Amino acid sequence: MLRHTGSARPATRPPMPRPDKTGDMYGLLHGLHPEIVDRHAKPGEIIAHEADLTGFFLYVVDGWIALTKSLEDGETQIIDILLNGDFALIAAKGAPALPYNAEALNTVRYLTFSEEMINGPEPGAAELRSHLAASVAVTQSRTAELLLRVGQGTAEQRICYALLEFYLRLEAIGQIDSNRFHVPMTQKQLGQFTGLSNVHICRTLRRFARNGLVRTSDRTDFDILDLDAVCHMAGVDLEALRAEIVLKQPA
C-alpha cells in the first residue's frame, strides 16, 4: 500500500500510480491547473463541512468518501458514497446553501477545485465539465435508488441493495476479486447508509451468513456467495442497475 507522502507537489502528472480505469480526469485537471495539490484524509476525517460557504468540487483519486447529512439530534444519513474517479459538487453556485458533509471512510487521496477553474474554453475543461455533469447525474440516480429502498424496503432489501451497489461500483474500478470485496465501513456506518440501527445491521448480516447469502470476514470483507439470491432480495436487475448507477469510464 503506497500511500501518504507529503502533500503538495506542482506537477502535470500524478505523483504516484493512479488506480486503473479512472479515466484521465486527474491528468486533465493537472493539465489545466498544475497548482492543484493532492490532499489526503484519514478515516473519520471531515473533508468538507456544511459551514463552508464557497462551493467547491471534489475529485476522488483513491479511497472511500461518504457524503452525509445530519438531523439536529445528531442522527446522520449517508447520502452517497464516492469512490475512485468520482466527482462531487459539495456546494452548488446556483443552489447555494447547506449541502453535505464529506467524511473519509478510509485513507483517501483527493483533489478539490472551484467552478471557475474548469469554466474555461479549453478542450480539457469542456471534457471535465461533461464528465462532472455525468458524475452528478449518477449520484442523483444512486440517491434515488437508495431512497426507494430506504423508503419502501425491508432491512434485508436495503442491505442487499447496498452490497450490490458497492459490488457494481467496485467492479468498475477493478476492486472485485471473484465476488469478494472490501467495504471500509463499520456496521454503524452501514446503518447510516441504509437507515437502520447498527444492531440490526449486525443481526441481518449474520442471518445472511447463516443462509449462505453473504459471508463477512475481518469486519469489512464481504463475499457474495449467492449473487442471484442477493439481487432478487434487493429487487435489483444487475445489468440495469449497473447502467444506472455506475459512472461510465471516459475513453
Partner DNA sequence: CGACCTTTTGAAACGATTCAATACTGGTGG
Partner DNA sequence: CCACCAGTATTGAATCGTTTCAAAAGGTCG
Is residue 127 packed enough to be buried (19+ CB in 10 Å), middle (13-18) or exposed (0-12)?
middle
Give the residue from 173, 165, 14, 201 showing the smallest Cα distance to 85: 173
Q: Is 206 in the site for DNA (CB under 7 A)?
A: yes
Q: Is 77 in the site for its own copies (CB under 8 A)?
A: yes
Farthest-apart Cα atoms in the chain, separation: 57
By beta-carbon proximity to DNA, the closer residue of 138 and 185 is 185
Question: Could you say which of 47, 155, 164, 172 contacts DNA (CB under 7 A)?
Answer: 155
Q: Is 98 in the site for its own copies (CB under 8 A)?
A: yes
Judge whether 7 and 39 are in contact, CB under 8 Å: yes
Which residues in the 118-157 window bind its own copies by CB under 8 A? 130, 133-134, 136-141, 143-153, 157
By beta-carbon proximity to DNA, the closer residue of 76 and 198 is 198
Task: Give the shortest CB-60-to-DNA separation in angstroms.
Answer: 21
Residue 187, binding choice from DNA, its own copies, none, Cβ under 5 to 8 Å by partner class: DNA
By beta-carbon proximity to DNA, the closer residue of 233 and 246 is 233
For the chain, the distance separating the N- and C-terminal CA atoms, rounded to the nearest angstrom, is: 27
By beta-carbon proximity to DNA, the closer residue of 61 and 196 is 196
By beta-carbon proximity to its own copies, the closer residue of 143 and 179 is 143
Q: Is 200 in the site for DNA (CB under 7 A)?
A: yes
| Residue with cell string 471535465 | 128
CA angle centred on 104, ends 181 and 129, rounded to 5°: 90
Residue 225, binding choice from DNA, its own copies, none, Cβ under 5 to 8 Å by partner class: none
Question: Where does this chain touch DNA (CB under 7 A) — which range of 27-35, 60-68, 104-112, 190-198?
Answer: 190-198
Task: Give the shortest CB-185-to-DNA separation in angstroms.
Answer: 8
By beta-carbon proximity to DNA, the closer residue of 156 and 244 is 156
Q: Is 188 in the site for DNA (CB under 7 A)?
A: yes
Give the residue from 189, 224, 34 showing the smallest Cα distance to 111: 34
Binding residues vs its own copies (CB under 8 A): 69-73, 75-77, 79, 89, 92, 94-100, 130, 133-134, 136-141, 143-153, 157, 192, 194-195, 235, 240, 243-244, 247-248
